[in-house]
Amino acid sequence: MASSCCVNGFEWNGTPTGQESTLAGNNVYVTGSNSEVAILVITGLYGWKFVNERLLADHYAREVDATVYVPDLYVDDE
């Protein structure tokens, strides 16, 4: 049985530092600025606009010094 945090979710503290953009015609959240290292984050149930996903992407960008992309896999079907 899944724990309640998986079903209800929770929100980390903070404000995402990246920006919304487009990549190959698709919406994407982008954070970081390293042109030599990139990470693609595949989102879960809550999608690309979920604050936790963006805060996690920001963390990856800082921790690894990478540009991180969080694409809109559900094409705004939220």
Distance CA 47, CA 73 (A): 7
Q: Edge-to-edge, what's the strand order for the sheet holding 26-31?
A: 19-23, 26-31, 67-71, 38-40
Inter-residue contact 40 to 8 (CB < 8 Å):
no
**Full pLDDT tens readout for the chain, 78 residues:** 555 555 565 567 899 999 999 999 999 999 999 999 999 999 988 899 999 999 999 999 999 999 999 999 888 565
Distance CA 61, CA 35 (A): 12
* Alpha carbon 57 to its chain's center: 5
Q: Which two tokens stand for residue 59?
A: 């963390």
Model's pTM, two decimal places? 0.82
